[in-house]
Structure 1
Amino acid sequence: MFRTRTQHVLTLLASSFFLLLALASCGTNATGSPSSSSSASTKGNVIEVVAAEDFWGSIAAQIGGEHVHVTSIITDPNADPHAYEPTAANARTAADAHYFILNGAGYDPWAEKLLQSNPSSGRKVLNVGALNGKHEGDNPHMWYNPDDVTAVAHKLHDDFVALDAADATAFGQSEQAFLTTGLQEYHGLIADIKAKYAGTPVGASESIFSYLAPALGLKLITPDSYLKAVSEGTDISAADEATVEQQIKTRQITIFVYNSQNTPNNIQKVLNLAKTAAIPVPTITETLTPANASFQDWQSSQLKGIQSALATATGKK
C-alpha cells in the first residue's frame, strides 16, 4: 500500500477542523503526456512512477490512469538520452519512486547508475531491454518496435496490479483502452503503409528506424554497420559511407528516414545528396515531439510523414 500525496496545514493554533482536513489525503493523476506534476485524484493509492525517458512515461501514465503519478526525467526534445547527466533533483525523484522504468540495453546507463546510487528496498524496476531480451550492443530503440510496445504495456499492467491489487480492474480497463482505442490510428497507419509499400527499398540515418522499417514492410538497405555507428557515435567506415552515398546518388532508395536528434558531422552531406536526388527525407525523433504529446500521437504523426514521403516518391497515393 502506498501513502497518497498530501499537504498538511500545520500551525500551533490549528483547530481539529484543519487536522481533519490534513488527514483527508488526495492522490495524483497522470495523463498520457507525462510531466513532473499532475492533478489530484480523489481516491485510492497512488504509485509514484519515474521513467528515464518520456516515451515510456507516456505509456505508463495511460496504463496507470489516476492511480499513478508519473515523472519522466528526459522530456526535452533537444536532449541527448545517451549522454544525459542526471541532476540532484533527478536523484531525489528516483529515491522516492515506487516504480522506475529505464530503457536498458545500453541506451541509458546513467539511469542504472542513478538507481545504484539511490538504493530503495521497496522500489520495483522495469528494465525494458531485459524484458524484451535485449542487451548492450543490441539495437536499444525498442519503442519503435510495435511488438515491444505491446509487451511493455502488458508488463506495466501486471506490475501495477501487483503493487496495487485494489485497483486491478481500473488498470485492466486502462490497458485495454490504450492497446485498442489509444493505438488504433498508430496500428492503422502501420497496416496501410505495409499494404501499399511492402518491399520498397529505403534508407535511414541510423538504427532508430531498424525496428520500424520491417514492421512497415519496407526494405531497409542502409548497411547495418553504418546505422549502428551513427547511433552509437562511433566512426563510420569509408566503405559504408561510400555505399550510403552511392545508394542515394543512384536512387536505389525511395526515401531516407532521418533522426533529427542525432546529427553527426557527415549527415548534412547525406541530406544534401538526398535533396539533389529528389529523395524525400521524413524525420523521426528519439523522444516525444512536441514534449507534451502522447506516445501514440507522436508516433502517428511521424508515420504520416513517412507515408506522405513514400507517396511522393512512388506516386502511390
Structure 2
Amino acid sequence: MPTAALPRLSRPSARAALVTAMAALTAVTATACSTASSSGSKDGGTPAASGSGPGRKIEVVAAENFWGSIAAQLGGDHAHVTSVITNPDTDPHDYEPKAADARTMAAARYVIVNGIGYDAWADKLIAANPGSGRTELKVGDLVGVKPGGNPHRWYSPDDVHKVIERITADYQQADPADAAYFAQRKKDFESKDLAGYTTLISQIKSKYAGTPIGASESIVTPLSEGLGLKMLTPESFLDAMSEGADPTAKDKAAIDDQIKHQQIKVYVYNSQNSTPDVRAQVKEAKDAGIPVATVTETLTPAGATFQQWQTAQLKGIAEALAKATGR
C-alpha cells in the first residue's frame, strides 16, 4: 500500500471549485430527466432506471468508490455505477468537485453519499438541483450516526451489511421486474464474494477480542469495535488526526507512554494520512517491538473491489495480532 500522506486541500480552494461545479450543475438541470425517488431519499418514491425492458440499467453515482464497489457488485448488469472519488491520493473530506462531477450527479437516478460531514461537497452538489427527483441514500442517516459522529462507516462490518440491504431494496424498487435478480446478486455477494471478509472478522473477534490496540486516527475505531478489540488511543487524538488538526501535547504524551510501556499490542495507522506525528509513533512502536498494521481511507489499489481491499487489511491486522500475542 502507498505510504504517501494524503494532500490536505485548502478550504478556500475547495469552496471555489464547488461554486464552479454547482454552476455547471444548474446549467444542466434543464436536460436532466426527472424520476421518482425511493424510501431512502427525501422525496419518498422509487428510483428510476434508464430505458425499459431487457437491458435497462439504473444510473448510479457513489461519492466514494468503497460504496461504489458494493453498489456495482449488487447491481450487476442492471446498474451502471460511477464513483466520483477513485484516486487513492484524493482526500474525500476536502475534495474539490469539478464541473464533470456536477453533470454526473445531474444525470444520476440513484446517489450514494456517506454523510456525517464526510462528503459535504456531494450534499451541496445534490442540493443545487433539488428538482431532479433522484434518489439519495445517505449512509449516516441509514445507520443512525448523527453529524459529529464517526463518519467512517465502511469500516463497520454491521453498517456495511445495512448498506447492502438498503441498496438491494432500492434496486428492487427501481426495477421491480428484476427484483429476483437483485435478490440473487445480494445472496451471492454476501455468501461468496464477502466470505473471506466475513470469516476473517469472525476469526479475529473470536481469537483476539479484548486485545488492546493503538491507532493513528478515528478511521480505525469502527473496525476495532467490529473486531472486538480495545482501543486505547485517546478519542480526542484520533478525531484530531482524522480532521487534519494538531493533536494536544497531552494526547501525544499519553500515546508515547502507551507505546513505551507496551500497553498496546498492535498499532494500526492510515498510511494515506501519515503525518510527522504518526510517522514518529510508527517508529516508536516498531522500536518497542509492537507490530504495526496499515489501513487506507479509500480503495487501494484503486481497481480493487471492496472485499479485496478489506480482506488484505484484515489479514495484516490478524498477522500483527498473532505476532503480538503468540496466538
Please state which band the TM-score falls in when normalised by the shorter chain. 0.7 to 0.9
SS in 2 for 1:172: helix
Aligned twin of 1:280: 291
Partner residue in 1 for 2:13: none
Q: Which runs of 4+ in 1 moved over 4 A?
A: none
Whole-angstrom distance in 1 between the partners of 2:319 and 2:259: 19
User: Which residue does the alignment assign to 1:184?
Assistant: 195
One-letter identity of the residue aligned with 1:65: G
CA distance in 1, matches of 2:151, 2:110: 21
- In structure 2, the partner of 1:3 is 50
Query: What is the aligned counterpart of 1:103 among 104, 114, 125?
Result: 114
Mapping 1:151-166, distance limit 5 Å: 151-166=162-177
Deviation at 1:135, TM superposition (A): 1.9
Paired residue secondary structure (2:148): coil
Alignment-mate amino acid for residue 117 of structure 2: G
CA contact (8 A) 2:158 2:226 kept: no
Displacement of 1:274 in angstroms is 1.1
The structural deviation recorded for 1:50 is 0.3
Shift of residue 183, structure 1, vs aligned partner: 1.2
Aligned to 1:220: 231
How far did 1:314 drift?
Answer: 1.5
Are the counterparts in 1 of residues 64 and 86 from structure 2 also a CA contact under 8 Å?
yes
- Report which structure shows greater RCO (CA 8 Å, sep ≥6): 2
Kindly report the root-mean-square deviation, in angstroms, between the aligned alpha carbons of the 2 structures: 1.4
* Higher Cα radius of gyration: 1
Do the aligned residues in 2 keep the contact of 1:63 with 1:157 (CA within 8 Å)? yes
Matched, 1:307 2:313: no
Code of the aligned partner of 2:308: D
Verify: 1:239 aligned to 2:250, yes or no: yes
Shift of 1:120: 4.2
| 1:77 partnered with 2:124 | no
Q: Distance in 2 between matches of 1:54 and 1:3?
A: 22
Q: Distance in 1 between the 2:270 and 2:98 partners? A: 26
**Aligned pair 1:66/2:77, yes or no?**
yes
Alpha-carbon separation, structure 2, partners of 1:2 and 1:306: 41
- Structure 2 unaligned blocks of 5 or more: 1-47
**1:117 Cα shift?**
2.2
Task: Tell me the equivalent position of 1:125.
Answer: 136
What code does the residue aligned with 2:136 have? V
Q: What is the SS of the residue equivalent to 1:210?
A: helix
Residue 269 of structure 2 is matched in structure 1 by: 258
Identity score, percent: 56
How far does residue 62 in structure 1 lie from its aligned partner after superposition?
Answer: 1.1
Displacement of 1:235:
2.6
Name the SS for the 1:288 alignment partner.
coil
Q: Is the 8 A contact 1:95 1:119 kept in 2?
A: no
Number of aligned residue pairs: give it: 280
Runs of at least 5 residues in structure 1 that lack an aligned partner in the other structure: 5-24, 26-41
Partners in 2 of 1:289 and 1:268 — Cα distance?
20
